[in-house]
Amino acid sequence: MKVMNMVQAINDAMDIMLTEDKSVVAYGEDVGVEGGVFRVTEGLQLKHGVNRVFDSPLAESAIAGTALGMAIAGLKPIIEMQFDGFVYPAMNQILSHISRFRNRTRGKFSVPAVIRIPYGGGINALEHHSESPEAYFGHTPGLKVVIPSTPYDAKGLLISAIQDPDPVIFMEPKRIYRAIKQEVPEEKYSIPIGKAKVLQEGEQLTIIAYGAMIREVQKAMVLAKQKDLSIELIDLRSIWPIDRDTIRESVRKTGRVLIVTEAAQSYGPAAELISIVNEEAFLSLEAPPTRLTGHDTVIPLPMGEKYYMISPERIMFEIEKLIRY
């Protein structure tokens, strides 16, 4: 075991897979010499060589499109989109080809690529540096989408993503990159994609969240505990496929559910989760399944972020409304 933050855990997962599997390569803007603007790939070029970990020219569409080419030709590329907002130029390749190549060729070609995207707000950044675009990917048939909330999960999920025969969007909650330190095994281990995790068992209400919102929910749960409320917390971890079993079991038990996402509301992940709750646990519900999400607005620049980002107090406010319902 070694104490790691999420940056180190992701770096460690990449290091292990680069060492073990010669078909793995990693590239993107500033990924090589600089080790990424968040230092996630730090030291990897030095250790694994410039043919395996390298800087690409500045062009996200080409970064994604070349990853498809590499993948169908036998490599396992891990590409980095420098920030969430810069995956947009790559959407054409991701939505039109990467997600569809297996189906288009009836399984003759598959795209075992990992697209890493640091995402989310709360870091006082410029525009296009604070987005939560997971719904676009979850909505795209053919992609898998994962978001860890801890260093331990980040390492295990990334190893699964690299080993996965299909394209995986691996979103990294940059706001908590260095905020959480945890004991992480030094050896290789994997966490299955498509499995949620119950972080806290409870009786009165289920909260489903993921990524950086987990920490905010946990802070709210401290407030809830002071009021003797018993809350169950599910870390979704996998945005697609979604773990119906864990959701069903939990909501059938508690009868109340609150979904918390930083992503904007309309047609977002919370809407999908509420549909699943209705399909799986309708007769157990004692209150309307509720969502607390980002507004349907552009995420504001730093001075306005306090009106957008979801605080523990806001979560507590919704918890109390639901319990009282």
Partner 1 sequence: MFDKNTLDSYKPTDNKMFSRIDDEGVPLDKNWKPDLSSELILQSYREMLFERTADYMAVSYQRQGRMFTYPPNLGQEAIHIATGMVIKDDDWFVPAFRELGAWLAKGVSLKEIFLYFKGNEDASRFVNAKRMLPVSVPIASQLVHAAGIGYAMNYLDEKAAVFAFVGDGGTSEGDFHEALNFASVWNAPVIFVVQNNQFAISVPLHMQTKSINLAIKGLAYNIPSILVDGNDIFAMHEVIDYARKQAIEGNGPMLIEARTFRMGAHTTSDDPSKYRSKEEEELWAAKDPLKRLKAYITNNKLADLSNEDALIAEYKQKIDKEFEAAEQHPAYKLDDVFTHMYQDMPAELKRQKNNLENFMKDGGVK
CB-nearer residue toward ligand TPP: 59 or 222: 59
Task: Select from 7-15, 20-28, 82-90, 148-156 the region that touches ligand TPP (CB under 6 A).
Answer: 82-90
The only residue of 5, 8, 82, 218 in contact with ligand TPP, by rule CB under 6 A: 82
Is 317 in contact with 227 (CB distance < 8 Å)? no
Residue 290 corresponds to which tokens in the numbers above? 């509720």
Q: Please state the closest distance from residue 206 (CB atom) to ligand TPP, in A.
A: 38
Binds 301, which of partner 1, ligand TPP, none (CB < 5 to 8 A, cut-off by type)?
Answer: partner 1
Interface with partner 1 (CB under 8 A) = 29-30, 33-34, 37, 55, 57-59, 61-62, 85-86, 88-89, 124-129, 265-266, 295-298, 300-308, 311, 313-314, 316-317
Q: Which is nearest to 87 in space by CA: 172, 163, 179?
A: 172
Residue 101 sits in the site that holds ligand TPP (CB under 6 A): no
Q: Which amino acid is at 307?
A: Y
Tell me the H-state helices in 73-212: 91-93, 101-104, 134-138, 151-163
Annotated active-site residue in 97, 129, 139, 295: 129
**48 given a catalytic annotation:** no
Query: What distance in Å separates the CA atoms of residue 54 and residue 91, rounded to the nearest whole number?
Result: 22
Q: Please state the closest distance from residue 39 (CB atom) to ligand TPP, in A.
A: 15
CB-nearer residue toward partner 1: 227 or 306: 306
Residue 119 sits in the site that holds ligand TPP (CB under 6 A): no
Residue 86 sits in the site that holds ligand TPP (CB under 6 A): yes
Please identify which residue in the block is written with the tokens 């991701």.
Answer: 94
Tell me if residue 115 falls in helix, strand or coil: strand
Is 248 in contact with 280 (CB distance < 8 Å)? yes
Q: Give me the residues paired with residue 147 across strands.
A: none
Edge to edge, the sheet with strand 53-55 lists: 53-55, 24-28, 76-80, 114-119, 168-173, 144-146, 238-240
Query: What distance in Å separates the CA atoms of residue 222 and residue 224, rounded to the nearest whole number?
Result: 5
CB-nearer residue toward partner 1: 129 or 155: 129
Q: Please state the closest distance from residue 17 (CB atom) to partner 1, in A.
A: 24
Residue 311 corresponds to which tokens in the numbers above? 């605080």
Q: Nearest residue by C-beta to ligand TPP?
A: 86
Q: Which of residues 1-40 bind ligand TPP (CB under 6 A)?
A: 29
CB-nearer residue toward partner 1: 86 or 240: 86
Contacts of 95 (CB under 8 A, 6+ apart): 136, 140
Active-site residues, by number, are 129
What does the binding site for ligand TPP look like in residue numbers (CB under 6 A)? 29, 58, 60, 82, 86, 89
